[in-house]
Amino acid sequence: MKNIIYSIAILFAALAYGCHNSGGYLSINATDNDTSFKFEAKYAEDKTGKLEKYLDSALNNELPLDQNIDLFVNLNGSDKFNLKAKKGWLVIDFDKRNSSLAGYMKVKKLTEGIKQKLME
């Protein structure tokens, strides 16, 4: 009986610890092939503000990442990418077929910066 009580106490302690530290969740996936580049990040919702500040400065555009958004972002006139976001989730889709190498390199650099901000 004593062992059961100890086991239950340890289980509750582990659950409480896991729920308290769930803010550290981070999943980043990038897919790069001949025709497209896709970047997806799932992260703790409390990092949305930090990510929003980074994207605002990198893109010279205010993006409300705490709302559900789905829009095209122009990089330099002809190059653009699709950005979908809400709290805790961000996806960038870039079509290589209709874009320049410079645009592709900008998006790659942007996603590396996003990755760095989320890992801080």
The two three-digit tokens of residue 69, written as one number? 């958004």
pLDDT of residue 23: 58
Q: Say if 37 falls within a structural domain.
A: yes
Tens of pLDDT along 34-80?
A: 999 999 999 998 898 899 899 888 888 888 888 899 999 888 778 89
Q: Say if 40 falls within a structural domain.
A: yes
Q: Say if 16 falls within a structural domain.
A: no
Q: How many CB atoms lie under 10 A from the CB of residue 37? A: 19
Q: How many domains does the chain have?
A: 1
pLDDT of residue 18: 54
| Residue 68: domain span | 23-119
Q: Say if 14 falls within a structural domain.
A: no
Q: How many CB atoms lie under 10 A from the CB of residue 103? A: 21
Quick one: which of 65, 26, 32, 36 has its CA closest to 49?
65
CATH code at position 48: 3.30.70
Q: Say if 8 falls within a structural domain.
A: no
- pTM recorded for the entire structure: 0.77
Residue with tokens 């709302």: 67
Question: Residue 95 pLDDT more than 50?
Answer: yes
Backbone angles phi, psi at 78, to 5 degrees: -95, -30
Question: Residue 3 pLDDT more than 70?
Answer: no
Q: Say if 99 falls within a structural domain.
A: yes
